[in-house]
Amino acid sequence: MRIVPILYGLLGSGWATVALIDIKKCTRQVVRKEFRDMNTTDWNRFKDALLTLQTTPSPNTNYTEWDDWTRIHIDNMHLAHGSNLFFPWHRAYVLALENRLQQIDASIAIPFWDWTFDWAIPLNSPIFSPEYGLDVKPGPSGDCRYRRRLYEPHCLVRDYNASEVTPYFPPESVSAVISSERNYTSFRELIEMVPHGLVHTSLGGATGDMSEMNSPNDPIFFLHHSMVDYIWWIWQQTTGGRMEEYGGDKNQILEPFGVTVSNVMDVSKLCYTYQPFSRNYALIPSATKLRTRRRVRNVRIWKVSQSWLEMNHISLERLQQIVDRFNRLSGRR
């Protein structure tokens, strides 16, 4: 089963890239790797395909296809965040983009950024080095290699203060949450609001793209959400029969992709799989048991804007409760 992007003009607005289901069986399965496990050729092909969307006009508009993908996220925030649709909606979204990129280059699989490996000093990750082409100087001026042309046009902004980017989460902590939390709703809430939210807001800062609804304007969004999907994939495979575990109606349609929650529960039917990061097997619960868990301090509430809280349908008090639960489950001290 594949999710295949098609282009059409939407009445009244003239855009868009959407994805509909293709019921044909997979003829091949691509492997999503951590970006450090990719060779230079494969990484450059991925990066070049992203840049192609920046220069490909959207049908019947003055925008580009890159703008279309950002707009899909903006227009579906009510589905994409703060509910149990978070995991399946983003799985369909990342997959739809991956399938579109494969129309440009059939070899492409969207890589993931394992931020648990870089947890102590996240900004030292090579993903931010010029070598990978995703480096953006922090500040309001932005980087015009990636720009948004719809709504409020601007170049890609990462508005963080390096001294305020707090440590993330070591792999053992995330692995402990994967092992301990068997309820889908609780697990989704823990991952969405804590590590997922921290990565977004730490890189976006006060006014940057990653802190706002237009976060897909930053290409690192897709590496981040490939990682989030990888974490869900690990949880689904953990002992206890979680592959079909969900906290809602699995027949609900994931707009605008034309697929249901049930359609995206099993990645083996979606023509892709994950290769564990060769330098970080500690994220996998079975491997973590063989290691000594690092003792790290409790996560504290980081700087979040009122708009981010509203976007995620959560209060600061509720966020604190979720962070406290994450700390307990992950064995933090």
Mean pLDDT of 70-83: 89
Q: Is 262 exposed, middle or buried (0-12, 13-18, 19+ CB in 10 A)?
A: middle
pLDDT at 92: 97
Mean pLDDT of 143-161: 69
The yes-or-no verdict on residue 319 having pLDDT over 60 is yes
Question: Which domain covers residue 131, as residue numbers?
Answer: 2-330
Give the pair of three-digit tokens for residue 275. 């290769």
> Which residue from 59, 106, 221, 94 is spatially nearest to 156, judged by alpha carbons?
221
Q: What percent of the chain has pLDDT over 90?
A: 47
Q: How confident is the model at residue 13 (pLDDT cuts 50, 70, 90)?
A: very low
Mean pLDDT of 20-30: 71
Distance CA 275, CA 278 (A): 8
Q: How confident is the model at residue 10 (pLDDT cuts 50, 70, 90)?
A: very low
Q: What is the CATH number of the domain that holds 269?
A: 1.10.1280.10
Q: How confident is the model at residue 76 (pLDDT cuts 50, 70, 90)?
A: very high
pLDDT at 290: 42
8 Å CB contact between 307 and 314 = no
8 Å CB contact between 309 and 301 = no
Looking at residue 196, the DSSP 8-state letter turns out to be: I
The yes-or-no verdict on residue 11 having pLDDT over 50 is no
Q: Is 185 exposed, middle or buried (0-12, 13-18, 19+ CB in 10 A)?
A: middle
pLDDT at 207: 73
**pTM across the whole model:** 0.89
Average pLDDT in the chain? 83
Who has greater pLDDT, 323 or 187? 187
Please tell me the total count of domains within the chain: 1
pLDDT at 161: 74
pLDDT 10s digits, 90-142 = 999 999 999 999 999 999 999 999 999 999 999 899 999 989 888 777 766 66
CB within 8 Å of 303: residues ≥ 6 apart = 164, 201
pLDDT 10s digits, 243-292 = 899 999 999 999 999 999 999 999 999 999 999 999 888 888 875 554 44
Give the pair of three-digit tokens for residue 71. 């707009």
Q: How confident is the model at residue 307 (pLDDT cuts 50, 70, 90)?
A: confident
pLDDT at 108: 97
8 Å CB contact between 99 and 4 = yes
8 Å CB contact between 325 and 176 = no
Q: How confident is the model at residue 184 (pLDDT cuts 50, 70, 90)?
A: very high
**At residue 45, what is the residue type?**
R
Mean pLDDT of 149-164: 72
pLDDT at 143: 61
